[in-house]
Amino acid sequence: MFVKDNKIDTCKHYFSSQLKDKFSSLAIQQMWKTLICKRFNWSGAEFILNQKTALSESDLLYVRDFVKRLQSNEPFQYIIGETSFYNLTISCNSSALIPRPETEELVNWIRNSTANPLSILDIGTGTGCIALALKSVYSNTYVEAWDISDDALLLARKNAINLNLTVDFKNVNVLNTINLARKFDVFVSNPPYVQYSEKGEMEHHVKDFEPHLALFVDDEDPLIFYKKIADLALLNLNPNGLLFFETHHKFHDELEREMKKRGFINIELRKDLQGLDRFLKAQIP
């Protein structure tokens, strides 16, 4: 026994003491609540009312294993198996990047910029979070989403089923694609944009656990995906169609120049929650 008794409030003290050097007290509280509510299928109110509940030996081992995995830098979202994104519960595993809060801002920007698009294409969908969030907003819109990873697409399709949302997920390598079977009103993409040379600067919970295929791009041409998607958008967006990117703040100015060079109009840049240049919107003429 690694705690003096098996009450939830006592186990919380163990959880906190083991993780206090790695996480803030607020993060620990949030993780603990999420862990317990998930384990017992409790609401927030039940969590508050049941602090004297006794944990079984199996529950205690579950908590201890959870602590060990967090101490090894495994992301909380992978351990718990899900995260919240745009009021949707998105299943997570190591086949796709964990949906980030700032990406919700991108969804909001699309929502505020387009009243009723007939069709949307999400390139590099991962968990499917962007495509599914947009489908939840635009129930009558055709939403298509691409990824090159079969494992990521399997996860995205699982999320679509769980959420009862219809998205057309396809295995497509955007770098090898030119003409599409249909045109779209909106393109959106959060492609790989971290240079391999930056790997040493990254947090261990990202570089050691999240898929490198979705994270990294060669140093020689860090905008390769953006330029290809922009070229594809010129050929396959409807008149006045919109293209949205999540970007690396280091290349914001260079990307803006690339978009202007291709003839895009109404180019707009936005910052993320941390005040970093993160998003770009452009329109085809």
* Average confidence (pLDDT) over 146-156: 97
Write down the pLDDT at residue 4. Answer: 59
End-to-end, the C-alpha distance of the chain in Å comes to 68
Asked whether the predicted pLDDT for residue 252 surpasses 80, the reply is: yes
- The pLDDT of residue 170 is above 70: yes
Q: Kindly state the average pLDDT of the residues 77-94.
A: 96
Best CA proximity match to 173, nearest among 122, 124, 119, 129: 124
Which pLDDT tens digit goes with each residue over 214-224? 878 787 888 99
pTM for this predicted structure: 0.92
Task: State the CB neighbour count (10 A cutoff) for residue 271.
Answer: 14
Question: What pLDDT, on a 0 to 100 scale, did the predictor assign at position 3?
Answer: 52
Q: 3.40.710.10, 3.60.40.10, 2.60.120.1030, 3.40.50.150: which CATH number matches 82-283? A: 3.40.50.150
pLDDT at position 23 is 92
Q: Where are the domains of the chain?
A: 8-68, 82-283
For residue 167 the two structure tokens come to: 């998205």
Averaged pLDDT, 53-57: 88
* DSSP code of residue 73: T
